[in-house]
Chain A
Amino acid sequence: TQLLEQSPQFLSIQEGENLTVYCNSSSVFSSLQWYRQEPGEGPVLLVTVVTGGEVKKLKRLTFQFGDARKDSSLHITAAQTGDTGLYLCAGPSGNTGKLIFGQGTTLQVKP
């Protein structure tokens, strides 16, 4: 059974600080996706990483896919209050496109 484990589960930081969220598995994934979810809303796709060792940047967010394609990280530089939310990593399970999700990281950025 494929599992994705995210850490930390909760993170409370001051505006301007940097942070890293980790998504780990013992299984190899063909790709991993990162979503951000606001309370009561649907997950919004931030990025998909496909190639082992790949690094993608989205403004202050940097996403990395592990060389072995078993893990990924999300790094936020100079966090802003607007970054507050639930961050979910997800990966395809099987060949039908269904996703399994990590438990999520709840990020609170205080002014």
Chain B
Amino acid sequence: AAGVIQSPRHLIKEKRETATLKCYPIPRHDTVYWYQQGPGQDPQFLISFYEKMQSDKGSIPDRFSAQQFSDYHSELNMSSLELGDSALYFCASSLGRTGDTEAFFGQGTRLTVV
């Protein structure tokens, strides 16, 4: 079965640079979520999209933006990168967004800012 695809798997950037992370949801899933996971921490919700519209927003810095495209893939754009942005970034997708919705996660992008 097709899973959530994220690219790239690893990314090394310098401070103040820009990074773009991509997420391809499971086919027919209409909702995409982005999470950030620091070392030894649980995933923290950043932002989500439902049917190409922003659905919810968490603790996402103003330096970050995201969108969901017509083919339902999503991109997370991160500018003016800081050392503290180094983390694992996960995308998850679901069909619908009710309280019973099951979210499936991609393998993540490990971002290292040097």
Task: Mark A residues whose CB is within 8 Å of B.
Answer: 29-31, 33, 35, 40-45, 48, 50, 88, 92-104
Given contacts A42-B105, A97-B33, A97-B99, 14 further A-B contacts (CB under 8 A): A30-B98, A30-B99, A31-B99, A40-B108, A42-B90, A42-B106, A45-B105, A88-B43, A95-B98, A96-B56, A98-B45, A99-B92, A101-B42, A103-B42
Which residues does chain B contribute within 8 Å of A35, judged by CB atoms? 105
Which residues does chain A contribute within 8 Å of B90, judged by CB atoms? 42-43
From known contacts A43-B43, A45-B102, A104-B42, infer whether A97 and B107 are also in contact, taking CB-CB under 8 Å: no
Asked whether, in the complex, the Cβ of B50 is within 8 Å of the Cβ of A96, the reply is yes
- The chain A residue sitting closest to B58, CB to CB, is A98
Interface residues of chain A: helix, strand, loop or mixed (majority): loop
A-B contact pairs, 29 of them (CB 8 A): A30-B99, A30-B100, A31-B100, A33-B103, A40-B110, A42-B4, A42-B6, A42-B105, A42-B106, A43-B43, A43-B105, A44-B105, A45-B103, A48-B102, A92-B99, A92-B100, A95-B98, A95-B99, A96-B50, A96-B97, A97-B33, A97-B97, A97-B101, A97-B103, A98-B58, A99-B33, A100-B45, A101-B42, A101-B43
